[in-house]
């Protein structure tokens, strides 16, 4: 008698094929390191810059200076994004579009300063946020490094009209409204400068600054509104971290306070790492990643290149840093998925 062949269940066949298929290779370390570096660009990129983008040494671009038109900016964003996709990964593009004088797109919303917006309704602020997102999308921009979520705590604050108010309740409402408006237009918003620069009388881009007064309520509100990024400041906060570490290097502030107590699980981005305080700190990129930061922001392409090489060398030497870097890159990838970025 011929024996009837009995085929295994379909589910078992699928499992067997899955187990026998080669696992997808993890990206090389140089690409993981590059994915968390944001480099500056003020005009059309040179071929050497595009080569770094294609190679995966740059994961994001911040467009600096002022741009004459949406078309001019779009031509550049398309060029750098095409270079990134030629290397196999989408690129993030960010700008400072706060309102008033701080606008990389001077022809786009919000025309009013944050202080002027803070005196209006939340509905109006959300409308301005949506208009801002529409303008940025037309220019190929993914991230608005706004709103300023600091509360002005000194009449001599260097932030001036970049803050919504000296009342944290007003700031909280305005920041949440702007975040909601921008992100409804599929552009990621950024609450900055955590845990607060409202008491600073000097700019951390130029000076070492120590701050003893902050207001966290507006940051809680922005996080509650679903903000995708939080920018951490370069100032020191002795009452929050007695070690004297700048916030950008402080695990107590980034991981303990921002992620732990405030529950933020999105992307943490540095303020300019080529500012005096972080630039004078050895192994600054690695120390920021170790504190819980995800994106390393530079306002100079030369400084970004040096930062990338420093981070790569430190990651090659440290298994713990490689683990922390992988976690940061995963959060950046999640942001790209939220944005719908793809090649």
Residue that the structure tokens 């220019």 belong to: 139
Strand partners, 270: 232
d(CA 47, CA 342): 23
* CATH architecture for the domain at 30-339: Alpha-Beta Barrel (3.20)
Contacting residues for 5 by C-beta, under 8 A, at least 6 apart: none
Contacting residues for 83 by C-beta, under 8 A, at least 6 apart: 45, 50, 53, 54, 91
* Res 10: pLDDT: 38
d(CA 48, CA 50): 5
Closest CA to 115 of 77, 147, 92: 147
Secondary structure of residue 142 in the 3-state scheme:
coil
d(CA 150, CA 164): 8
Residuewise pLDDT in 10s, the chain (343 residues):
334 434 344 333 333 333 333 445 789 999 999 999 999 999 999 999 999 999 999 999 999 988 989 999 999 999 999 999 999 999 999 999 999 999 999 989 999 999 999 999 999 999 999 999 999 999 999 999 999 999 999 999 999 999 999 999 999 999 999 999 999 999 999 999 999 999 999 989 888 899 999 999 999 999 999 999 999 999 999 999 999 999 999 999 999 999 999 999 999 999 999 999 999 999 999 999 999 999 999 999 999 999 999 999 999 999 999 999 999 999 999 999 999 999 9
* Res 11: pLDDT: 36
* Res 5: pLDDT: 37
Contacting residues for 121 by C-beta, under 8 A, at least 6 apart: none
- What pTM value is reported for the model? 0.92
**Ranges of each domain in the chain:** 30-339
* Res 21: pLDDT: 35
Strand partners, 61: 39, 93
């Amino acid at each position: 008698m011929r024996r009837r062949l009995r085929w295994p269940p379909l589910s078992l066949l699928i499992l067997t094929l899955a187990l026998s298929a080669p696992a997808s290779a993890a990206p090389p370390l140089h690409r993981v390191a590059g994915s968390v570096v944001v480099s500056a660009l003020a005009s059309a990129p040179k071929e050497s810059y595009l080569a770094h983008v294609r190679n995966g040494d740059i994961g994001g671009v911040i467009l600096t200076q002022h741009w004459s038109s949406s078309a001019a900016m779009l031509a550049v964003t398309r060029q750098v994004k095409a270079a990134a996709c030629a290397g196999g990964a989408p690129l993030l593009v960010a700008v400072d579009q706060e309102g008033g004088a701080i606008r990389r797109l001077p022809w786009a919303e919000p025309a009013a300063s944050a202080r002027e917006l803070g005196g209006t309704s939340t509905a109006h602020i959300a409308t301005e946020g949506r208009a801002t997102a529409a303008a940025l999308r037309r220019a190929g921009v993914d991230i608005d490094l706004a709103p300023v979520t600091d509360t002005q705590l000194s009449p001599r604050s260097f932030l001036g009209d970049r803050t919504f108010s000296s009342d944290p309740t007003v700031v909280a409402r305005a920041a949440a409204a702007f975040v909601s408006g921008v992100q409804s237009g599929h552009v990621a918003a950024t609450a900055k400068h955590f845990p607060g620069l409202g008491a600073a009388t000097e700019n951390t881009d130029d000076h070492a600054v120590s701050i003893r007064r902050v207001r966290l309520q507006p940051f809680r509100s922005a996080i509650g509104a679903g903000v995708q990024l939080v920018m951490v400041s370069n100032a020191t906060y002795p009452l929050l971290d007695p070690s004297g570490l700048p916030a950008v290097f402080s695990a107590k502030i980034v991981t303990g306070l921002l992620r732990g107590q405030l529950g933020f699980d999105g992307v943490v981005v540095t303020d300019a790492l080529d500012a005096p305080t972080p630039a004078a700190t050895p192994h600054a990129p690695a120390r920021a990643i170790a504190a819980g930061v995800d994106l390393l922001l530079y306002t100079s392409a030369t400084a970004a290149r040096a930062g990338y090489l420093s981070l790569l060398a430190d990651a090659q030497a440290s298994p713990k840093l490689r683990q922390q870097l992988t976690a940061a890159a995963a959060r950046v990838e999640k942001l790209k998925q939220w944005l719908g970025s793809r090649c």
